[in-house]
């Protein structure tokens, strides 16, 4: 790993990270505030039978299977919601796929690799930066949850001890996606293919998980999605499955292994 490259990458990304972190924190706060303001009323509406049970089941499935009208359910919904997924993907997909291919396309990889840094060290540094950015972004969302829960007086409804595991589960999901992005990035001379591959994996994964949630016959396809292994409701209820973490870590390890083999062996022809 190269400290100067890590510091440079941090400086290059810090404003973007700040914006994403604030957005995620606000989003995390919003769901808790909504729950605190309307959660009990909504539960009463549900229990009155005004909303069809099928619709209620669907909403619970979409939120990861938990009780959407509990604080834990609201937090779980926030973790799998497209808004938070898209925000964290700014780094998992955007940074991951651009880290090498973007430099290559701009021609600056040439200048970087003219220094006495091995390609593996460059990769390790960028991977460390990816983990750092994802970890901070996800943490910001959970900090937002904590602040809003304390401010609205509902924090007693949440088992705070489960939050670190939820953070780890979410971080591992996006690090797995980011590792795929980095693997695509080291394999490509241009940003567009690397970004396209990573975006495709992410979107297909998200759609597979969504389809499996809303369509019982499609449940069998869920295990093929990385998103299937993010189970915030189970984690927040203390029933998280360590296998989920292992699967996500496994995806990341395979992608990292691929990149560490492919990147040093690649020919980097003169930029055109």
Which residues contribute to the site for another protein (CB under 8 A)?
A: 2, 4-5, 8, 12, 106-108, 110-118, 265, 267-271
What is the helix (H) or strand (E) element at residue 33, kind and residue range? helix 3-47
* Integer Rg of the chain from CA: 20
SS3 readout for 210-256: HHHHHCHHHHHHHHHCHHHHCCHHHHHCCCCCHHHHHHHHHHHHHHH
Alpha carbon dihedral 267, 13, 147, 88, in 10-degree steps, equals -40
Distance, CA of 78 to CA of 117 (rounded, Å):
40
Output the CA–CA distances (angstroms, integers) from residue 193 to 97, 125, 268, in the order listed.
9, 22, 16
């Amino acid at each position: 790993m190269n400290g100067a490259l890590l510091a440079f990458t941090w400086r290059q990304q810090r404003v973007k990270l700040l914006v994403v972190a604030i957005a995620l924190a606000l989003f995390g706060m919003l769901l808790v505030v909504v729950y605190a303001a309307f959660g009990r009323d909504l539960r009463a509406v549900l229990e009155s039978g005004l909303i069809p049970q099928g619709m209620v089941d669907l909403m619970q499935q979409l939120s990861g299977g938990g009780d959407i009208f509990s604080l834990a359910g609201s937090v779980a919904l926030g973790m799998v919601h497209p808004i938070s997924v898209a925000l964290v993907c700014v780094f998992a997909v955007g940074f991951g796929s651009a880290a090498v291919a973007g430099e290559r396309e701009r021609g600056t990889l040439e200048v970087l690799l003219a220094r006495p840094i091995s390609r593996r060290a460059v990769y390790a540094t960028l991977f460390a930066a990816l983990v750092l950015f994802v970890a901070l972004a996800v943490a910001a969302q959970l900090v937002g949850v904590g602040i809003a829960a304390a401010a609205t007086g509902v924090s007693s409804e949440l088992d705070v001890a489960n939050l670190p595991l939820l953070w780890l589960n979410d971080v591992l999901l996006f690090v797995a996606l980011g590792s795929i992005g980095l693997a695509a990035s080291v394999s490509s001379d241009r940003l567009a293919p690397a970004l396209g591959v990573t975006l495709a994996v992410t979107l297909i994964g998200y759609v597979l998980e969504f389809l499996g949630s809303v369509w019982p016959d499609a449940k069998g396809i869920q295990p093929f999605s990385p998103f299937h292994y993010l189970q915030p409701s189970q984690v927040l209820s203390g029933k998280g499955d360590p296998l989920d973490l292992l699967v996500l870590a496994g995806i990341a390890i395979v992608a990292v292994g691929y990149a560490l083999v492919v990147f040093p062996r690649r020919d980097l022809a003169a930029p055109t």
